[in-house]
Amino acid sequence: MSSIFHQTRSMAFLYAFSKIFLAISIIHVWSVNASKSSRWRAGDAQNLREEFRFYGYSRLSMYIVGFFKIGLSVMLIASLYYTSVSQLAAFGLAAFLISAIVMHIKVKDPWEKSFPAALFLLMALLIGFTFDPDIVNAFIHE
């Protein structure tokens, strides 16, 4: 029985780490790195605003997407305690990450530019589909 507890506890930490890593990564992209160039940006965009312009989107749409991505990321961190929002946050982020990949494909970017979005999408889907209250409770209550 002790072995099962340790496995559940280990899974709880991995689950929590995945949520925190994903959330902080997205918040970082939309705050600290928003005005910086990156090899992952679409086309030859030097910052987030230029990237959205390259996609054909307005500045307002960039702010709306940023608001939701940051909000869902904060919700994902909050889901470490408020477990009822875990899947909403994870699947919400997954929808935005699918959109990011689709936009890279639409503008015919090399597939490598979609790598971060694809990695984060995989993480969001794993978080969303592997939601297990026992794992979460092991993290919170022990």
**Mean pLDDT, the chain, as a whole number?**
89
SS3 of residue 19 by DSSP: helix
Buried b (16+ CB within 10 A) or exposed e, 60-85: eebeebbeebbebbebbbebbeebee
Residue 108 has pLDDT above 90, yes or no: yes
d(CA 126, CA 5): 22
Residue 3 has pLDDT above 90, yes or no: no
Q: What is the pLDDT of residues 16-65, one digit of tens each?
A: 999 999 999 999 999 999 999 999 999 999 999 999 999 999 999 999 99
pLDDT score for 12: 79
φ, ψ dihedrals at 35, nearest 5°: -100, 10
Element at 14 (helix H, strand E): helix 2-30
pTM assigned to the model: 0.85
Segment 133-139 mean pLDDT: 57
**Percentage above 90 pLDDT, the chain:** 76
